[in-house]
């Protein structure tokens, strides 16, 4: 039991943001480590060895860490971020989301196309609704986010299409399960970098 009265096994792992000093669930932060050449290395999979330091997945916060040289404070050693760090993070997170959705498609936990997504919504199967950022607002508004599900608009139609082996995809959905949870985590981080809303609830 913790000081807050919660059972330990139900706790959500938390970390402190290097810039804001706020403690929050680590799903909303990005881990970094220091490479052997004193270069800051993003650890999107959270598996690299070494002392980790964390930043909120927000473009403005990461840019502040770069301009104010705060990585050295987090690493407790001289640390230099690579050129175009924000763009590297954005590309890396987009690739992770695409790869996860692709895994979902191969395992039967993801579908694409307006009618298939609509059928899944009607059947109550949708945990994550993904719609292309550059798709028609009118078309996207015809689908809805079920209660308890998550909506993301962080990928372009061509990026979402990569997950399904197509030139472009506007509407896709994932059912409940581990892959959906991982998509929620990484898509939420990507939204922070691309400045898009992470959740849309209710029928449009």
Tell me the whole-structure pTM to 2 decimals.
Answer: 0.88
pLDDT value for 118: 98
Do 98 and 15 lie in one domain? The reply is: no
pLDDT at 10: 43
Sheet of 126-131: strand order equals 110-112, 171-175, 126-131, 150-152
Question: 186 and 111 in one domain?
Answer: yes
Phi, psi of 155 (to 5 degrees): -105, 150
pLDDT in tens, 94-139: 999 999 999 999 999 999 999 999 999 999 999 999 999 999 999 9
CA distance linking residue 84 with residue 76, whole number of Å:
22
Q: Give residue 69's domain range.
A: 8-82
Residue 34: which CATH number?
A: 3.30.1230.10
User: Measuring CA to CA, which residue among 122, 99, 103 is closest to residue 177?
Assistant: 103
Query: What pLDDT is recorded for position 94?
Result: 98
1 is a domain residue: no
Handedness of CA 181, 55, 199, 118 (dihedral sign): negative
Helices (H), 35-194: 59-67, 71-75, 85-106, 114-122, 137-140, 157-163, 178-194
Answer for the pair 174, 104: CB distance below 8 angstroms, yes or no: yes
Mark which of 52, 82, 112 sits at the end of a domain.
Answer: 82
pLDDT per residue as tens digits for the range 12-63: 899 999 999 999 999 999 999 999 899 999 999 999 999 899 999 999 999 9
Q: Does residue 125 share a domain with residue 171?
A: yes
């Amino acid at each position: 039991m913790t000081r807050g009265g919660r059972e330990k096994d139900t706790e959500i792992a938390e970390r402190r943001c290097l810039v804001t000093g706020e403690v929050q669930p680590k799903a909303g932060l990005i881990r970094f480590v220091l490479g052997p050449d004193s270069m800051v290395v993003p650890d999107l999979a959270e598996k690299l060895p070494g002392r980790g330091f964390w930043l909120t997945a927000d473009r403005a916060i990461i840019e502040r860490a770069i301009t104010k040289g705060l990585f050295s404070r987090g690493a407790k050693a001289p640390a230099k971020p690579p050129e175009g760090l924000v763009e590297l993070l954005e590309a890396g997170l987009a690739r992770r989301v695409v790869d996860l959705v692709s895994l979902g498609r191969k395992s039967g936990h993801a579908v694409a196309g307006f009618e298939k997504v609509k059928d899944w919504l009607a059947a109550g199967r949708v945990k994550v609704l993904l719609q292309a950022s550059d798709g028609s607002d009118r078309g996207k508004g015809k689908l809805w986010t079920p209660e308890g599900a998550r909506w993301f608009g962080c990928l372009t139609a061509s990026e979402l299409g990569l997950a399904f082996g197509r030139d472009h995809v506007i509407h896709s959905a994932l059912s409940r399960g581990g892959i959906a949870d991982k998509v929620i985590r990484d898509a939420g981080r990507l939204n922070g970098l691309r400045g898009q809303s992470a959740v849309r609830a209710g029928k449009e």
